[in-house]
Amino acid sequence: MNAIVLAIAPARAARRIRAMKLAPRFLASTCQLVFLALIAATAFAADVPPGFVPLFNGKDLSSWTVPENDGGHWKVLDGVIDYDARSEAKKDKNLWTEKEFGDFTLKIDWKIKELHGLYNMPEVLPDGSHKKGPYGKDIITPRPNADSGIYVRGVGKAQINIWCWPIGSGEVYGYRMDKKMPPEVRAGVTPKVCADKPVGQWNTCEITMKGDRLTVVLNSKTVIKNAQLPEVPAKGRIGLQHHGGFDVKKNEYSPASSLMQFRNVFIKELR
């Protein structure tokens, strides 16, 4: 629908209302509502980047597989995917796309809503290892944290992390922590820069998978560039991660729970 149609539609509505002999004030408000509704109906489509298709329509989770017996904790709230880390599913609590993808570029906005408690964090070095203290043990610092991520190719090991570690979001924990991986692989999946915005603010992320190579751009900064993910499946679903949870007995969240929101989820399949 183009601007001409948007301009004509209120006029058509006005003629119909005049024919019904309705009050001028009602006429004006109705025309305004029609105009705003038409703009709202086209706003989402206008925002789709060229060459991409939406994976989230802003209204429901129709392109996603909600965990069985989730209890309504993965939901759409005010036009975004909202999660409170309380899924009641007995098995997999993650939210997965219905469709599988091979090579693609994914654009997605994410936001950590809030933090609870402290989490023991190591200091990650550029090669992916942890900084050691005088006795050879990891140097650990308790810090506020939340933890989630974006799975690619349908496997937990290929997960682009979202969290509050000083190293920044975008790393691939499953490969970085796998000591069987070559040093260049572990270093490759370690963020080159921390590009995260403060908790409560939206972050814009672009993830490209081509073959077994991954590139992650976070808030216009390349944090992972052409990193190799050996033996990653050629195709699989994309997932939004559940992490942590809520302890009903203690009436508190785990210090690394996925209290998250996601929006503007678009994908372009690469040939």
Give me the domain span that covers residue 17.
3-46
Q: Are residues 38 and 134 in the same domain?
A: no
Same domain, 10 and 82: no
Same domain, 104 and 27: no
Asked if residue 89 and residue 11 are part of one domain, the reply reads no
234 and 104: one domain? yes
Are residues 61 and 36 part of one domain?
A: no
For residue 144, the domain's CATH number is 2.60.120.560
The predicted-structure confidence for 132-152, as pLDDT tens digits, reads as follows 999 999 999 999 999 999 999
Same domain, 155 and 64: yes
pLDDT tens across 215-263, in order?
999 999 999 999 999 999 999 999 999 999 999 999 999 999 999 999 9
Give the mean pLDDT of the chain: 88
Burial environment of residue 134 by CB neighbours within 10 A (0 to 12, 13 to 18, 19 or more): exposed
pTM of the model: 0.82
Parallel, antiparallel, or unpaired for β 104-112 and 118-122? unpaired
Distance in angstroms (rounded) separating the CA atoms of residues 265 and 181: 31
Which of residues 157 and 46 earns the better pLDDT score? 157
Confidence of residue 14 (pLDDT cuts 50, 70, 90): very low
Give the per-residue pLDDT at 16.
46
Same domain, 79 and 186: yes
Residue 2 in this model has a pLDDT that exceeds 70? no
Q: What's the number of domains the chain is made of?
A: 2
- 35 plus 58 within the same structural domain: no
Residues 191 and 101 in one domain: yes
Same domain assignment for residues 258 and 165: yes
In the chain, DSSP assigns E strands to 53-54, 64-65, 74-77, 80-83, 95-101, 104-112, 118-122, 140-144, 147-151, 159-163, 203-210, 213-218, 221-228, 236-240, 246-247, 252-253, 260-269
Domain identity same for 210 and 233 = yes
